Amino acid sequence: MSSVPVHEDFDLDAYCARIGYAGVRQPTLAVLEALHFAHATRIPFENLDVLLKRPIRLDLASLQAKLVRGGRGGYCFEHNLLLLAALEALGFAVTPLAARVRYRTERLLPRTHMLLRVALDGRDWLADVGFGGEGLLRPVAMDGEPSAQFAWSYRVAEASPGLRVLQSQRGEAWEDLYAFTPEPQLRVDYEVASWYVSTHPESRFVQTLTAQLPSPERRLVLRGRELVEDRGGEAVASRTLADEAEVLAMLAERFGLRLPPGTRLEPGG
């Protein structure tokens, strides 16, 4: 059972409509994979509320108002708490975990990433729809078996007893994305971590706008005004957007984000 209680008012129908999922609703591997894929490719990873100085609320009512009915995305805690509610509503056995990000850093970072462990048919699966452009499209088995996901491949490696690392393959090398241990997390743990990443002056989310959306064909990433399209084996295409107006248009057109008229981004965006 999850250590994070699910709100009884979770609207599974609205969630499935938001991500375009119309399949069966049973706790099977096929459903887990389909739901994970639909969520990851329909709801963007983004930090706009941080830059707009709006609080990040992790209660389920707020998550549904923002990500489901509001046409917005969010970062890891928002995404994976929403997925957690959906999976538990379908009868999956889910344990929320926390990780230290290793991607693009050599520093030891605090546990500021959320992921889920799903126990199913005698195997554990890592589910995570909140890691952005480098993240998973489908769950990955936690026993080390590689998972090919279109142009990208992932695996969960054991770094030491009790410590596992999600890795992605680039060429012949495996690159660490984040490291995690098996201790279940409580909602208050995520509240503290979310407060840190949304307010600490050294947090990357406070410093720079980011919007990210993966798909089978490409990973679309916007950081500040730099737009990157990663197609896996192909060269990464990049261009710089001209101004805030083009950034806002890009967020609407390519990421599908609905922002109120008159939205102005902070200088860091």
3-state secondary structure of 93: strand
**Listed residue (102, 76, 91, 50) closest to 189, CA to CA:** 76
| DSSP class of 55 | -
Residue type, 123: R
200 is catalytic: no
Asked if 91 contacts 31 with a C-beta cutoff of 8 angstroms, the reply is no
Q: How far apart are CA 174 and CA 103, in angstroms?
A: 11
Asked if 244 contacts 269 with a C-beta cutoff of 8 angstroms, the reply is yes
Structure-token pair, residue 71: 């046409």
Catalytic residue (one of 16, 49, 79, 128): 128
Catalytic residue (one of 79, 113, 189, 230): 113
Catalytic residue (one of 11, 39, 49, 76): 76
7 is catalytic: no
16 is catalytic: no
Q: How far apart are CA 198 and CA 174, in angstroms?
A: 29
Residues catalogued as catalytic: 76, 113, 128
